[in-house]
Structures are given as C-alpha cells and as structure tokens.
Amino acid sequence: MRATVLSFAVLATLLIVLSGCTKDAPTAPDTTPKKYAVKGTVTPKAAEAVDGVTITMGTRTATTTATGAYSFSDVDTGSYVVTPTKSGITFTPATKNVTVSTADVTGVDFVATGAVTPTHIVPEMVAIEPGTFMLGYSGKIAGGVGSGPQHQVTLTKGFSIGKYEVTQAQYASVMGTNPSRWVGENNPVERMGILNAMLYCNELSKLEGLQPCYTISGMTVTWDQSANGYRLPTNAEWEYAAKAGTTSGNTYAGENDGRNPNSVIDSIAWYMYNTQPGPPYDGSTASSRPVGGKVPNAWGLYDVLGNVAEWVYGNKDTYPSTPEVDPINHPQADNVIIRGGCFRNKATGILITERVSGAMTDIGDTSGFRIARNR
C-alpha cells in the first residue's frame, strides 16, 4: 500500500514538471533602436535645374536626383534641421525642422528659385581685330551695284561677328516664332526685315543681361554705340570681315567673272546654280541651305556670300573718294543696305563688294542677317 502511495506522488511530481515544459519562456524586450526615413522633393519655381541640390540633415548629406527627389534612410529618432543648397539658387523655405519619432517622415519639400536653365541659343561669334582695308571695288569687271569708288577705311576698334548667319533655331529660341519659308532649324532665318533683325538683337541682349543697342520708334532707329549688346554689323565692318584680309577681287576666293555656272563661287556660296535642279535656271525652285556648308573665308566666317542676303547697319549713299575712319551711315526708312547676295542670284549677284538698297519695310524669303557686338 505504501508503495502505491509513493508511486502516485512520484507521478504527480513528474506531471507538474512536464506541464511546466509546455509553457512559453518569457520574451526579452527588444532594445534595438528604431530607424526611419526622411524624404522630400525640390521643385522649380520656373524652369530651374533641381538636380544636384545638396541636402544637409544633421551631419548627413544627400543629393537630389534629376526630378529633385532626395531621401535619408536609417535615421535615428530625434530632431533635425534640413537645409538645401545649390549655387545660384535660393530655396523656400530656407530650412525645415523635422522630428523623427515613430514613423518615416515624408513631404520635407522645398521650392527652388533662380538660375533658370537658359532656353535661348546664342550664335557663335568670331573676334575681328582692328585694321585698314580698301572698301569697295575698282576692278575691270562689274564689282556690283554701289561698290565704288573704292577708298581706304580704317576701323580702330575690334568687334565680334557671327560665324554663321542667324539660324531659324537661334531666332525661334529668342523670339518664339519662325517666319521662314524654307523651314530647317539650321537653315538661316529669312523673311526678315531690318527691323526684325534689330528687334532680335535687342531681345537677345536682354536675355544675356546686356544693354540693348537700338531704340526703335516706327521707322526711326537710334543706335547707342556705347551699348554692349548685340547689333548688326555696319556696312564697313561687314565688308572688312567678309574680305578677311584679301586685297583684291570681288569675292574672298578669287575673281568672280560673272559666268554661270561659276567655279570660284560654287565652292564658297549657295547660289542659283547649286541650289536648284536645272536647267532651266530661273530661281523658281532655289532655296536656302543649312549654314556652314561651304568653304569659309580666311577668318572663319561662313555664308558671307550666297545662302541668304544679310541686312547691315547703313545706307546706300555714294561712297566718298577720300579715306575714312570708323565710317557709319545710318539707315533710313527707304534707304537701307543688304549684302552678300542670296541663293536665288546668278553669279553676277554673288559679290562681296556689292550693296543692294532696300526699305525698312522690305521682307523677303531671301533676306536674313548675322549679328555683331562691340569688344
């Protein structure tokens, strides 16, 4: 009987021990600190570039993506000051206070102002040094209308001039329109009057933070010669740059004898005999071509002959026979000058010495321009 009682006691003790083994052991508290994220976006007020903005938060930095987004990961709980910086840009707000406690923090956003990415295209320029040359023509064959008498001209100030005629893409990027008939972004802009060209110069100057050169009231133009903005070359500047140091002839590559087709001008200019199928050659299907497609002159200027004719600042009054220094002849409503010939001309019209007169109201699909600027 005693043995039976002991057996039950042992069994009871065993059951108690076994039942204890089936219970969950107490869980130790997780003492690992929580980590969170801080995210935001920098947005432009206008067209500012919002990539590459440095975002500082405490001792850490991040950089925005192309869309202006940024983020910090594994951020400890606490209070932080978030600050964006980028050269040329101010931010609204300048800083933000952020508290990280129990969740990710999003929407830490800023607005960028200033340093707008330029959308206008500035034509490439060539620097021209001062010098003395013979303006006009005195050869045995015709040098063109209004090309004489030939006389000495000295330019005492250097200037810059467009390497190419102003293109349609360049004009549209400033003026917002493209009036051209012969559409092509690298073709010279045409359907230009001289006032259109001057207005473009003024607008480009403003966009570049320069002083505009022209004050235009109806058909009256006043040129501030001290202004540092863009302008048209004067008649003398245009011919000096176009001749590029050549001392004779009616082109910069030799004598144009007026025959068609013409081997001298064929390599340097777009004219009727290489801009349209033919024969017959009547100009009806001739058109402008992309700038820079022919051989430049010795100073690196393209299309000073042919392609589109170029408005310059001047009038077609008769040249003097005596030497001149820095000559300027102001344009008049019915007396302005266009130079260089165009794609619709025969060889007799592709002359570096010829001045063709026009009016300020004249606008045609063969008329363009190149720009200049004081140095």
Q: Who has greater pLDDT, 214 or 15?
A: 214
Q: Dig out the tokens for 209 from the structure.
A: 């933070």
Q: Is residue 20 part of a domain?
A: no
Could you say which of 84, 113, 142 is where a domain stops? 113
Residues of the domain holding 89: 36-113
Question: Which pLDDT band, with edges at 50, 70 and 90, does 8 fall under?
Answer: very low
Looking at the structure, tell me whether residues 91 and 140 fall in a common domain. Answer: no
Considering the domain architecture, whether residues 204 and 322 belong to the same structural domain is answered as yes
Distance CA 225, CA 341 (A): 27
3-class secondary structure, 48? strand
- Residue 59: CATH number of its domain: 2.60.40.10
If one counts the domains in the chain, the total is 2
Q: CA 303, 155, 205: angle at the middle one, nearest 5?
A: 60
Q: How confident is the model at residue 294 (pLDDT cuts 50, 70, 90)?
A: very high
Query: Are residues 220 and 316 both part of a single domain?
Result: yes
Tens-digit pLDDT profile for residues 92-150 = 999 999 999 999 999 999 999 986 667 899 999 999 999 999 999 876 666 677 788 99
pLDDT band of residue 77 (cuts 50, 70, 90) is very high
281 by DSSP, 3-state: which?
Answer: coil
Global confidence as pTM: 0.72
Q: What is the pLDDT of residue 10?
A: 44
Q: Residue 366 and residue 363: Cα distance in Å, rounded?
A: 9
Say which residue, 255 or 199, is predicted with more confidence.
199
Inform me whether the pLDDT recorded for 321 exceeds 70: yes
User: Is residue 140, in this structure, part of any structural domain at all?
Assistant: yes
59 close to 123: Cβ distance less than 8 angstroms: no
Among 302, 281, 247, residue whose Cα is nearest residue 349: 281
Give me the mean pLDDT over the 295-309 stretch: 98
Point out the domain boundary residue: 50, 85, 113: 113
Q: Rounded CA gap, 166 and 33, in Å? A: 65
7 vs 373 pLDDT, higher one: 373
Any domain includes 25: no
Is 172 strand, coil or helix?
helix
Give mean pLDDT, residues 47-67: 93
CATH number (domain holding residue 362):
3.90.1580.10
| pLDDT recorded at residue 17 | 44
Tally Cβ neighbours within 10 Å of residue 246: 17
The percentage of the chain sitting over the pLDDT mark of 70, rounded to a whole number, equals 89
| Residues 103 and 211 placed together within one structural domain of the fold | no
Among 57, 86, 113, which residue terminates a domain? 113
Nearest Cα to Cα of residue 155 among 129, 174, 177: 129
What is the predicted pLDDT for the residue at 115?
64
Mean pLDDT for the stretch of residues 256-284 = 93
